Amino acid sequence: MWRSVLAVCLFVLAGAFTVSGTGAAVTTAPHLAAQPTETLAPGGTIQPDGTVPPGPTIDAPQEPSAESSAETRRKFLLGGIAVVLFALVYWRNKKRWSKWRAGRKSG
């Protein structure tokens, strides 16, 4: 029975640290490679009227979304529970093995 509990704990631990969902790169338009006619600064693009669009704001706050932080919290909770259960089973087995070894030596 304890082996099945240990297996479930390890399964939960593995599930808590795996990435959920899959990613797929999908392009809708064909990608055509063209030779540039002008040399641009890194990341620069030329608009039809010759202006460069503004870049992203540097001081924008980088807050993680509430959904991803809740999922991370849940994964850490499940991982913590799995680690605690694994430690309890390991400690119990260590006590049993030491008792068994002591019994073999004396008898």
Domain boundaries, the chain: 68-107
Q: If you ran DSSP here, which 8-state letter would residue 37 be given?
A: S
Rounded mean pLDDT of 18-40? 58
Residue percentage of the chain with pLDDT more than 90: 24
**Token pair for 68:** 């991803």
Q: Which residues contact 61 (CB under 8 A, 6 or more apart)?
A: none
Whole-model pTM: value is 0.39
Q: Is the pLDDT of residue 101 over 80?
A: yes
* 13, 86 Cβ separation under 8 angstroms: yes
CA atoms within 13 A on the CB side of 64: 8
pLDDT at 81: 96
* Spatial separation of the C-alpha atoms in residues 26 and 100, rounded to whole Å: 60
**Residue 79 above 90 pLDDT?**
yes
CA dist., res. 26 & res. 51, Å (int): 30
